[in-house]
Amino acid sequence: MGALKRPASGYDTSISHPASGTAHMARSMRSAAALIRKLSDLMRLRTNGAGFPARSAVPGPGFLAPERDTISLLPYIASIVFVVAALLVGLVLQRFLQVTNVSLVFLVAVLTSALTGGLGPSLFASLLSVLAFNFFFLPPLYTFTIAEAENIVALIVFAVVAMLTSELAARVRRQAVVARRQQNTTAALYAFSRKLAGIGNLDDLLWATAYQIASMLRVRVVLLLSDGKDIRVRVGYPPEDQLSELDLAAAHHAWQNRRPAGRGTDALPLFVPLLTDRNAIGVVGVRCEGSGRTLDLDERSLLDALADQAAIAIERINLATAIEEARVDAETERLRAALLISISHDLRTPLASILGAATSLRSYGRAYDDAAREDLLATLHEEAERLNRYVGNLLDMTRLESGAVALKRSPVDLQEVIETALRRTGPVLERHRVEVQVAPNLPILDLDYLLLEQVLVNLLDNAAKYTQAGTLVRITARREEDLVAIDIADEGPGIPAGDLDRIFDKFYRVHDEDRRRAGTGLGLAICRGFMHAMGGRLTVQNRQDRCGAVFTVTLPVEASFTHGMKPDE
């Protein structure tokens, strides 16, 4: 019959060995009352009404029903009924079946009364039975004379039977009640455990725990968690509860010594440490409402069980958080390292060409003919431009990463943005064919000119870099309902199907077998970042009509700038 045992707590949690006989009897009466209530619920007797005190006003499912102190009349009335029934049966047996020893029938009434009513009603029933037996069956009939020792014996036997049976019945009832209670407790703990398992957030977990403890035990709860050095209040139910200095000290004591402290009364809360096998991660404090009430042994063990579960769940979440943080740190480190490597390489490469060409001209320039000199100078120029672009990319990326992309909105004519973007990429697109088709009457958009221009420049730069000289790069701008779309289509090899999404990742470059294309790998990430900042989108698809890629910039048409156009003056 062991209720939940808590290791090393020193509390005996079994309830089948109470202290004294009076307590025992009182207990059995209370349990009996409780059982009768439950049985009558089962038998669907109407129990609302006279005789039953109102349920306690404390909220919660009332798992442990409040015990009644008043003695109700119903079991006694039931005893009368049983005895009367036995009497009638006895009379019938005597009259029609000539049974002489009908006392056993009264025994049934006493037994029934003991089973359903408990000790008091059964004693009452035995008294009634003796009287009835005496009156109706023992000569002289219809008198209450106790003539022979038979009657006294019968009375004593009935009384003894009554007491034994009712005690037995009470024991069974108690055990049934306890078993029922334990089953309910276990079910509730199981449900709580499952609920905890599904919570991934520490605050939700603490709240659920506090609420569960408060409602299962009908107490006021406060949960304190340790942050390594000290504990502090994290959650409470009801939420407005405060802890006094003294209470905090007691909580601290409980946490540090890993032992419960306090009593659990209204004046002196009980603090139970939340222990895992590694350390004390916090303390749960409970305070009973109502003067003088403290937690009984059952409730203590329940509290311990809930505390254990909570401790395990909290530790689980703490571990999960630690793992996630470690993972994020590792990932950040990886990106940082990749960034440094990439920057170092991409800045030093053009610098190498610049220094090489410049020093070559300085040291040996006299010997070069015009063609050689022009060639070196061209290299100087081109590589310097390249470096300029990289620096621009890095700055753009830094702006995006640090969230410093402050939009400077102004009315923008898409045709003009395309024009200036093409001008900037003129040199790069020198050896390509370029076609531009801008739909007439495209709305003027309210956005950041330079951001959109940079997006187009990066896309055009890519188109030039990743396609062969002489191929066509086509830019079209069109309207689609409440969106405006700019397509940049090339005639290159297109994007491998698996990479269509990943090309917008930082540092991602499609691997080309021919030769590694120079580039920071940031261009498209920047494009996407800028588009996002403007409330637009950037997507890529492979062309359907031939091989090649199409990048599409879409922007919402929000405030259109329509101006009252005066006729030409």
Partner 1 sequence: MSEPVTILVVDDEPPIRRFLRTTLEAQGYRVIEAETGAAAIVDGLGSKPDVIILDLGLPDMNGLEVIAAIRATSGVPIIVLSIRDEERGKVEALDLGADDYVTKPFGMAELIARIRAALRHRFQVQGELPAFASGDLSVDLVRRRVALGGEEVKLSPKEYEILKLLVIHAGKVLTHRQILRQVWGPAQENDVQYLRVFVRQLRQKLEPDPARPAHILTEPGVGYRLNAP
Footprint of partner 1 (CB under 8 A): 384, 388, 392, 408, 410-411, 413, 415-420, 422-423, 434, 436-438, 444, 449-450, 453, 561, 563, 565, 568-569
CA distances from 342 to 27, 57, 532 (A): 80, 70, 24
* Shortest separation between residue 382's beta carbon and partner 1, angstroms: 12
CB atoms within 10 A of CB 37: 16
Q: Cis ω on the peptide bond leading into residue 121 (within 30° of 0)?
A: no
Contact 298, 13 (CB under 8 A): yes
DSSP code at position 100: -
Contacts of 370 (CB under 8 A, 6+ apart): none
* Shortest separation between residue 427's beta carbon and partner 1, angstroms: 10
Q: Cis ω on the peptide bond leading into residue 238 (within 30° of 0)?
A: yes
* Shortest separation between residue 442's beta carbon and partner 1, angstroms: 11
CA angle 126, 127, 128 (to 5 degrees): 90
DSSP code at position 506: T
Q: Which is nearer to partner 1, 262 or 443 (CB)?
A: 443
Q: Which is nearer to partner 1, 471 or 476 (CB)?
A: 476
Q: Which is nearer to partner 1, 315 or 448 (CB)?
A: 448
* Shortest separation between residue 373's beta carbon and partner 1, angstroms: 16
Phi-psi region of 118 (alpha: psi -120 to 50; beta: other; left: phi over 0): left
* Shortest separation between residue 384's beta carbon and partner 1, angstroms: 8
CA distance 140 to 504: 111
Nearest to 540 by CA among 483, 493, 495, 498: 495
Element (H, E) at 412: strand 409-412
* Shortest separation between residue 341's beta carbon and partner 1, angstroms: 26
Q: Which is nearer to partner 1, 4 or 485 (CB)?
A: 485
Widest pairwise Cα distance in the chain: 155
* Shortest separation between residue 521's beta carbon and partner 1, angstroms: 22
Look up residue 108 and give its amino acid: V
CB atoms within 10 A of CB 445: 24
* Shortest separation between residue 333's beta carbon and partner 1, angstroms: 31
Q: Which is nearer to partner 1, 347 or 444 (CB)?
A: 444
Contact 541, 534 (CB under 8 A): no
Q: Which is nearer to partner 1, 187 or 436 (CB)?
A: 436
Q: Which is nearer to partner 1, 143 or 410 (CB)?
A: 410
Helix or strand or coil: residue 280? strand
Q: Which is nearer to partner 1, 3 or 421 (CB)?
A: 421
Element (H, E) at 194: helix 149-197
Q: Which is nearer to partner 1, 183 or 410 (CB)?
A: 410
Look up residue 286 and give its amino acid: V
* Shortest separation between residue 440's beta carbon and partner 1, angstroms: 9
- In residues, how long is the chain? 569
* Shortest separation between residue 280's beta carbon and partner 1, angstroms: 56
Contact 106, 83 (CB under 8 A): yes
Look up residue 177 and give its amino acid: V
Q: Which is nearer to partner 1, 339 or 438 (CB)?
A: 438
